A and B are shown apart, each in its own frame.
Chain A
Amino acid sequence: AQSVTQPDIHITVSEGASLELRCNYSYGATPYLFWYVQSPGQGLQLLLKYFSGDTLVQGIKGFEAEFKRSQSSFNLRKPSVHWSDAAEYFCAVGVTNDYKLSFGAGTTVTVRA
């Protein structure tokens, strides 16, 4: 079965600084990969997804993620964070011949002024 690991529970970043959130997966083949964001008290919003093709994926709100097969990773990046990026971020994976997404434990991002 597939699994997803987000090694960082909490990250604090200054406004205007760059952000990188790590995501590693365990699966024998290439999975489908996703990043979601959840603002406090809100539901989940899809930031970006990877199915195939170009390994650098652009998403909403200025986020991008890069799929690295050799490292089984799908890290999320943003060049310059805004205070509104303070939220919890979830990496998720889906696999062929299955029906459901599996989620990592999440990374909470705090943005300081």
Chain B
Amino acid sequence: NAGVTQTPKFRVLKTGQSMTLLCAQDMNHEYMYWYRQDPGMGLRLIHYSVGEGTTAKGEVPDGYNVSRLKKQNFLLGLESAAPSQTSVYFCASSYFSGQRGPYYGYTFGSGTRLTVV
């Protein structure tokens, strides 16, 4: 079982370039999430999805777009990268487990370190 796999692990972009981060999970999880981690700010939610074909905005959605065309994949896009988007990006997935909501099986990927110069 691979769990949650993020591609790529590292990337350097020039300002204005675009790119897509891929998150793939093989656990048949319904929910998927994209977070960014910055020093002193913890993890902040960018976008999330509660099922195939659905997406919703999190705390810091500006400058990002997402798509969930297949249940197992959640893509995060940067249309025109800015230095402020330099960060470590984490994907997570989870499933609904009754009274414990979607939190019992929350699983994180290993992260993508993105630098925008």
Q: Do A and B bind each other?
A: yes
Number of interface residues of A (CB under 8 A): 26
Q: Is the CB of B103 within 8 A of A103?
A: no
Tell me whether chain A's interface is mostly helix, strand or loop, or mixed: loop
Number of interface residues of B (CB under 8 A): 25
Q: Is the CB of A42 within 8 A of B41?
A: no
CB of B102 within 8 A of chain A? yes
Q: Is the CB of B102 within 8 A of A99?
A: yes
- In the assembled complex, the CB of A39 is this many whole angstroms from the nearest CB of chain B, namely 11
**Which residues of B lie under 8 Å from residue A104 when comparing CB positions?**
42
Cα separation A94 to B100 with both chains bound (whole Å): 10
**Which residues of B lie under 8 Å from residue A100 when comparing CB positions?**
33, 45, 48, 58, 102
Residue of B nearest to A43 (CB): B110
Q: Is the CB of A43 within 8 A of B99?
A: no
**Which residues of B lie under 8 Å from residue A44 when comparing CB positions?**
43, 90, 108
Q: Could you tell me which residues of chain B, from 68 to 110, have a CB within 8 Å of some CB in chain A?
A: 90, 92, 99-104, 106, 108-110
Contact among A90, A101, A106 for B103, CB-based, below 8 A: A101
CB of A98 within 8 A of chain B? yes
**Which residues of B lie under 8 Å from residue A105 when comparing CB positions?**
40-42
CB of A51 within 8 A of chain B? yes
**Which residues of B lie under 8 Å from residue A99 when comparing CB positions?**
31, 48, 50, 101-102
Beyond A32-B103, A43-B108, A99-B101, 9 extra complex contacts between A and B, CB < 8 Å: A34-B106, A43-B111, A51-B99, A94-B102, A99-B31, A99-B48, A99-B102, A103-B35, A103-B42
- Which residues of B are in contact with A by a Cβ distance under 8 Å? 31, 33, 35, 40-45, 48, 50, 58, 90, 92, 99-104, 106, 108-111
Question: What are 24 A-B contacts with C-beta separation under 8 Å?
Answer: A9-B40, A32-B101, A34-B106, A43-B90, A43-B108, A44-B43, A44-B108, A51-B100, A52-B99, A90-B43, A94-B101, A97-B101, A98-B101, A99-B31, A99-B102, A101-B92, A101-B106, A102-B45, A103-B35, A103-B43, A105-B40, A105-B42, A106-B40, A106-B42
- Which residues of A are in contact with B by a Cβ distance under 8 Å? 4, 6, 9, 32, 34, 42-44, 46, 49, 51-52, 90, 92, 94, 96-106
